[in-house]
Every structure is written in structure tokens, then in C-alpha cells.
Amino acid sequence: MTTNRQVLIASLPSGRLQPSDYELHTADVPALEDGQVRCRTIALTIGAGQRAGLQGSASYAGAPVTGVVMNGTGLATVEESRSNRFAPGDLVVGPTGWQEYSVHEPAALRRVDPPADPALHLGLLGTNGLTAYFGLLEVGKPKAGETVVVSAAAGSVGHMVGQIAKVQDCRVVGVAGSDAKCNLLVDEFGFDAAINYKDPDFRSAFKAATPDRIDVYFDNTGGEVLGSALFRMNTHGRIVCCGVVSQYDTANPEPGPRGVPGLLVNNRVRMEGFLVFDFEDRYDEARRQLTDWANSGAVRPRVTEFNGLESAPEAFVALLSGQTVGTTIVRL
């Protein structure tokens, strides 16, 4: 029996997440039961939202526990199958968790076409790309010529949101946490402007970058950037609430933004939370469109890769501290 290297949640973070909140563990690969499929993980994707899952009841995913394999989505190959729906060698995406081998009911897996490219299946066509697509187009509903602002703009969802907004002929402004990221947003991803929220002059720079105010604010962060955006919204503006990364890596989330609800009333602003899973019946349509845009060069997905299962905790910490760009991927 092959052994299965895993990364377990060792402790629930009381402040900022540390690599030491995880531990490497070796277990047996579980036996297959009738109807099940065993997968070998090729690569994992890590998203900031997973940090919320370690905050207890704050997340939609339920309360976290220790001593279990860290959850996560992976690209994998089917090694052995006792289901007629999958055969050895099939390429799949599923909830592999942070481990080398995992066993699944077929319904948990989605077959994908070769090549076995994590950037494609976990980035562009994965949850990140779909989240950007549906959040921007279906919740934000941008119109040509409008100003779209996105926070955590160099992140997995943010860099896609900005590029999709450019396809819609919007003016696109990104907010990110370093000058290097801001340069990347403008030079590589075609944003019209990008602002570093750590800049002491952030508020005036933000104002200068949004001379026609904001029609759609795609919020990945909450916190101060949301607070600033609320004061720049146009009448009938839309705020897409996608994530709250500014409040994940802490035990003491801040109070909400001062402009809620007063500024929502004055400017008739719609602020709407969404989860991509609600659009599941339209994933195929979105994947076709994202593929077309990527093939034409209109959208250029980016990944930051880490190597080896044991690098997953450090990859997660790097992501949360803003050290990564695009989709964060751990290759096994």
C-alpha cells in the first residue's frame, strides 16, 4: 500500500496564519469502495477565502477543526476507479485537499480535457475565473464606458475581473498592495490605472484615478478600500461583494464601513454578495467565453507557482500577505 503525504490543520490561527499552523503527516492511502475513485494530486490551488474557513462560524463552509487534512481544490489524475464514470488516466478537478492521494464519490469530480495544466484548469477555468466572470458580469453589470474598480486587483479573481472589464470597454482601476503589482496591472493586464492602498496618499490618488467616480466596485477586500469606494460611488452604482480578504487573517475583524447604509441610500447604491456556486448551471457558457478571450489574448491569466506539497502552508501565508500574483498554485 502506497503511503499518502498530507498537510493537516495543526492549530486554528489566533492571529495571522503561520506555516506552523499546519503539519506534515503520512497516512495510508484509503482503500477504494465500490463506486469510488482514487486520485493522485497534480496541483492544488489556494484561495484567500480559505482563510475565512479557519475563522469558525464566520464562513459559509461551517466551523473548522484541527487534525484533519486541509481542504482545497486540486487537479488530479485518476489512478484507480471502481466507478464506471471514470477510468485510470482521466484528468479531473475536485476537492482533493492538501494531500497526494484522495478517494471520492464520482459526483465530487469534474473531468477536464488535457493538457494537465494547473493554470488552465485551476485558474482561468477554475473557481477564480468563474467568480470573476459571474461576479462582474451578472452582479456588477458594467456598461461600456463605465468605471470599474477592483480591489486585491492583482489577485486570482481581481486580475481576471479587470481584464474582463476591459473587454466590456470599461475604464478599469485596480487597487493593490505594492507598486510592483500596480505596475503589473497597468503594463501586463491593461488596467487604465492602479493604486497602492498602502500609499499614504491613497485617498487622494484613488480620487484622482476615478475622475468620473465609480459605477461598479468589485470588492475582494472589505475594510478601508471598501470604505473609500463607498464615498466615490456614482448614483445607481453597484458594489459586488466577493470577498473580505482584509478581514480574514485576523482574530479581530473590524467594524463595517461607516458609509453603510447612509451612502447607499443617498446614492441609490446596490451592494450585493454572491457565491459563484449559485451560477453552476452556467459554468459551461462561462468557460467557453473565458477560453475564447484567452485564445484571442484579450484575457491573460497569471499564476504564482510553488513546488511540493510541503510548500502549501508557506504558499498560503505568502498569498495572505500579498506576496503572490494571480492564482496561487502548488505543484506536487
Binding site for a second copy (CB under 8 A): 52, 58-60, 219, 222, 226, 239, 241-244, 247, 253, 255-275, 278
- Contacting residues for 256 by C-beta, under 8 A, at least 6 apart: none
Q: How far is the CB of 270 from a second copy (least distance, A)?
A: 4
Tell me the three cell numbers of residue 55.
Answer: 475563522
CB of 60 to a second copy, least distance (A): 4
Q: Which is nearer to a second copy, 166 or 238 (CB)?
A: 238
Pairing of strands 214-219, 233-241: parallel
Q: Give me the DSSP letters along 178-200.
A: SHHHHHHHHHTT--SEEEETTST
Name the residue nearer to a second copy (CB basis): 112 or 175. 175
DSSP 28: E
Nearest Cα to 79, choosing from 103, 108, 44? 103
Query: 110, 91, 42, 100: which is closest to 69 by C-alpha?
Result: 100
Return the number of the residue (149 or 244) whose C-beta is nearest a second copy.
244
Smaller CB separation from a second copy, 27 or 260: 260
The least CB distance from residue 253 to a second copy, in Å, is 7
According to DSSP, the residues that pair with 176 across neighbouring strands are: 196
| E strands present in 152-242 | 171-176, 193-196, 214-219, 233-241
Nearer to a second copy, 222 or 301 (CB): 222
Q: What is the SS3 assignment for 60?
A: coil
3-class DSSP assignment, residue 108: helix
Q: Which is nearer to a second copy, 24 or 241 (CB)?
A: 241
- Would you call the peptide bond into 115 cis, given omega within 30 degrees of 0 as the criterion? yes
Cβ at position 118, least distance to a second copy in Å: 26
Residue with cell 477586500: 221
Q: How far is the CB of 148 from a second copy (least distance, A)?
A: 17
**Least spacing, CB of residue 54 vs a second copy, in Å:** 14
Cell numbers given for 180: 510592483
Distance, in Å, from the CA atom of 133 to the CA atom of 293, rounded to the nearest integer, reads 11
- Nearer residue to a second copy within complex by CB, 62 or 211: 62
Q: Which is nearer to a second copy, 12 or 58 (CB)?
A: 58
- Tell me how far the alpha carbon of residue 294 is from its chain's centroid: 18
CB of 305 to a second copy, least distance (A): 28
Cell, residue 214:
465609480
Placement of cell 482561468 in the chain: 124
Q: Which residues contact 223 (CB under 8 A, 6 or more apart)?
A: 244, 246, 247, 254, 257
**C-beta of 231: minimal distance to a second copy in Å?**
10
Of the two residues 8 and 54, which places its CB atom closer to a second copy in the complex? 54
The residue type at 46: I
Q: Is 324 in a helix, a strand, or coil?
A: coil
CB of residue 10 to a second copy, shortest distance in Å: 25
